């Protein structure tokens, strides 16, 4: 297996998008997966690298990205050293970052032999909040062939009372505690302004009904962060999506950071094998 690392420019605030890709170096044209991490996430969190290896071993080019304002840096992609960038993040930036990486894939920018790439099969996989962005980008971008959501949100709008929003506006920032790193992570009020400015664009309930591409929804029934009802809502709104509940699956499907195991756990294997089965069916049906 070959692992390549790359950096491209975000169009926002002179930030960079760090990514890596994994694949088997043969002459077989491979579908391309772009993986989008969630809130307080990054591409090398927990078991994401083992998952990426698994997909590569099963015939995919698997690309993981760090969204440009996720709080990590090129120098330390495993830590939240740039909390100011985290505070300046919003969904417009995230959507543009995903678009920039898709542009890079289609501009012959990848350090990989052309005969190994099947650009007719570009799939998005989004975890948690990244699932919401994946849905919206799949609707917007004709180059995306389909998508899979893992423990996805069903809305990008925070559940805040009017007085909480007023306080946020007055103070300009609210803080989210990261229990793992013990950091108070800022969210500047511009995030709310971006959501309100783009209410229709970011309306997952409305937009998903316009999705005319194959979709697989996977969610754990023991998700401690996002309730299973969110996945059920996605299925209701996108009635022809495939939907599978991962029994005893938590929000990260057995992942933790740092990850103490050398192999994927059974719940994680169920997640990735369901995903691969779904994508392989789509691949066979179009080639």
Q: What is the pLDDT of residue 285?
A: 46
In this predicted structure, the answer to whether residue 284 has a pLDDT above a threshold of 70 is no
pLDDT average, residue stretch 182-189: 98
The tokens of 233 are what?
């809502």
As to burial, measured by CB atoms within 10 angstroms (0-12 exposed, 13-18 middle, 19+ buried), residue 66 is: buried
Q: What are the tokens at 183?
A: 């950091």
Q: How many of the other CB atoms lie within 10 Å of CB of 167? A: 12
State the burial class of residue 43 (Cβ atoms within 10 Å of its Cβ: 0-12, 13-18, 19+).
buried
- The pLDDT assigned to 113 comes to 80
Question: Which phi and psi angles does 168 have, rounded to 5°?
Answer: -60, -45
pLDDT at res. 282: 66
Residues 265-283 as b/e (b if ≥16 CB within 10 A, e otherwise) read bebbebbbebbbebbeebb
pLDDT digits (tens, 9 = 90+) for 259-280: 999 999 999 999 999 999 999 9
| Burial of residue 189, with CB atoms counted within 10 A of its CB: 0-12 exposed, 13-18 middle, 19 or more buried | middle
Query: What tens digit of pLDDT does each residue of 101-110 get?
Result: 999 999 988 8
pTM: 0.97
Using the predicted structure, report yes or no on whether residue 74 has a pLDDT greater than 80: yes
Read off the pLDDT of residues 31-57 as tens digits, 9 standing for 90 and up. Answer: 999 999 999 999 999 999 999 999 999
Residue 29's pLDDT band (cuts 50, 70, 90)? very high
**At residue 234, does pLDDT exceed 70?**
yes
- CATH code that applies to domain 2-157+200-284: 3.40.50.1820
More confident residue, 237 or 27: 237
Q: How many angstroms separate the CA atoms of 255 and 267, rounded? A: 9
- Reported confidence tier of residue 258, pLDDT bands at 50, 70, 90: very high
CB 146 within 8 A of CB 123: yes
Domains of the chain, residue spans: 2-157+200-284
């Amino acid at each position: 297996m070959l692992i390549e690392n790359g950096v491209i420019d975000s169009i926002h605030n002179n930030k960079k998008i760090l990514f890596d890709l994994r694949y088997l170096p043969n002459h077989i044209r491979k579908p391309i997966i772009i993986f989008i991490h969630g809130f307080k996430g990054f591409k090398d969190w927990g078991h994401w690298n083992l998952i990426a290896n698994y997909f590569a071993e099963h015939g995919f080019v698997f690309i993981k990205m760090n969204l440009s304002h996720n709080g990590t840096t090129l120098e330390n992609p495993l830590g939240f050293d740039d909390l100011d960038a985290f505070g300046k993040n919003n969904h417009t930036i995230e959507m543009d970052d995903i678009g920039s990486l898709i542009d890079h894939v289609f501009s012959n920018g990848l350090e990989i032999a052309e005969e190994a790439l099947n650009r007719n099969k570009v799939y998005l996989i989004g975890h948690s909040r990244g699932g919401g962005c994946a849905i919206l980008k799949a609707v917007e971008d004709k180059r995306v062939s389909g998508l899979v959501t893992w423990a996805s949100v069903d809305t990008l709008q925070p559940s805040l009372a009017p007085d909480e929003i007023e306080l946020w506006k007055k103070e300009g920032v609210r803080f989210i505690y990261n229990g793992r790193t013990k950091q108070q992570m800022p969210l500047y009020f511009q995030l709310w302004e971006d959501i309100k400015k783009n209410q229709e664009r970011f309306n997952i309930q409305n937009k998903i009904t316009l999705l005319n591409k194959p979709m697989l929804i996977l969610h754990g029934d023991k998700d401690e962060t996002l309730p299973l009802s969110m996945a059920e809502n996605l299925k209701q709104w996108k009635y022809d999506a495939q939907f599978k509940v991962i029994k005893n699956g938590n929000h990260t499907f057995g992942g933790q950071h740092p990850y103490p195991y050398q192999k994927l756990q059974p719940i994680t294997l169920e997640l990735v094998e369901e995903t691969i089965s779904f994508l392989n069916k789509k691949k066979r049906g179009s080639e």
